[in-house]
Amino acid sequence: MAEPWKNQYGPDIPRRIAKRVAAVYPPFESAAFLRNALRGYEALELMDRGRRIAEALRGHLPDDFREALRIVVASAKVPAALPDGPLTRFLFLPHTCFVSAYGLDQFEESMAAQYELTQVFTAEFSIRPFIERYPDVTMERLRAWADDPNEHVRRLVSEGTRPRLPWAPRLRRFQKDPRPVLALLEILKDDTSTYVRRSVANNLNDIGKDHPDVLVDTARRWMKSAPPERRRLIRHALRAAVKRGDPGALAVLGYGAAPRVSVQSISVSPARARPGGAVTLAFDLVSTAARRQRILVDFRVHFIKANGTTRPKVFKLREVELAPNESVSLRKTVSLKEMTTRRHYPGTHRIDILLNGQPQPAGAFALTNRIALTK
């Protein structure tokens, strides 16, 4: 079972923060701060741990918010070693939580702090309360930052305005009307940074979950005379729509036509899967078309849920190009492994092969114990 993210954010985090704060503010009472920060810490999830540390900071810094904020930002710039592991930069999560929790009445100072902090971590979470309270002026500031020389600042423009940003409350105003966000994405779609362009793709993917037609129309327009980097952005932005089998999204990527193929020699093995084992899908595609054709090949597993209904999950396979009468053999092995993020239940799990989004039954495998599946 995968280790929870919060375990990577243990008691050493507030201790590291205390040392940084004391380095720029000697009167800081580190011991008292740690007692407050660590009270009930083990029971908290990752984001709540960040907020708890921010709360403890507020209680042990000067009452004057501007001075306290100056100390918080300065502590993030102390040249000290960062923790090892996948959450290295999350050391500064409490710093941005501090801004969003206590800085909403100090717009200019808070925006300046987020401009600095997003260059060491990310202000994608803390910028959202400012968008909610000051939508016009915050979006105007983000528009200016879209031309900033720092890629982390430019990424904040896109990532912070995602309507469905993970681990954050949704921006429902943009779920209803994404046009203000799209105006920013237009500026960033050909950004020189892959880091920024990937954020643009993720934002557009978010928009597509509420406005699939807007997603397809934008992707179709952006695809015209698109350089390779923008094409990759569009492909990533359309990933969820492609998994849904959206005809418009498939057409944008050149997979709108119904494939003319014969699917042969299908096998799903083993027929009864063991927990911790694997399931392999194999089959042959034989072209029946008179001309060369491109085909997007995926497959879908209908997982049994706890209530006996099913939930489909699409797995990527590959893209193929077949000449007339040409054939290709395809196979995919799926590991079965217990995880905290995905569980399924005993029963028969049907599999479909997806050819340009069009399903074809491929058989099934049975599970006798609750297990989880990963890509």
- CATH 2.60.40.10 residue spans of the chain: 261-367
**pLDDT computed for residue 303 by the predictor:** 86
Residue-level length of the chain: 375
The chain-wide mean pLDDT, for the chain, equals 94
Residue 208 vs residue 374, higher pLDDT: 208
**pLDDT computed for residue 5 by the predictor:** 85
d(CA 347, CA 70): 58
**pLDDT computed for residue 342 by the predictor:** 63
Q: In this structure, are residues 258 and 287 in contact, taking their beta carbons and an 8 Å threshold?
A: no
**Three-state SS for 304?**
strand
Q: List residues bridging with 321 in a β-sheet.
A: 294
pLDDT band per the 50, 70, 90 thresholds, residue 371: very low
Q: In this structure, are residues 151 and 169 in contact, taking their beta carbons and an 8 Å threshold?
A: no
- CATH 1.25.40.290 residue spans of the chain: 5-252
d(CA 363, CA 32): 62
How many CB atoms neighbour CB 255 within 10 A? Answer: 22
**pLDDT computed for residue 337 by the predictor:** 79
pLDDT band per the 50, 70, 90 thresholds, residue 341: low
Q: Between vectors from CA 203 to CA 249 and to CA 123, what angle results, nearest 5°?
A: 170
Instruction: Give the range among 10-24, 65-79, 132-146, 262-276 with minimum mean pLDDT.
Output: 262-276
d(CA 11, CA 7): 9
Residue the block writes with tokens 């810094």: 61
Q: 5-252 — its CATH code?
A: 1.25.40.290
Residue 242 vs residue 342, higher pLDDT: 242
pLDDT band per the 50, 70, 90 thresholds, residue 340: low
Which class is domain 261-367? mainly beta
Report residue 121 CA to chain centroid gap.
16
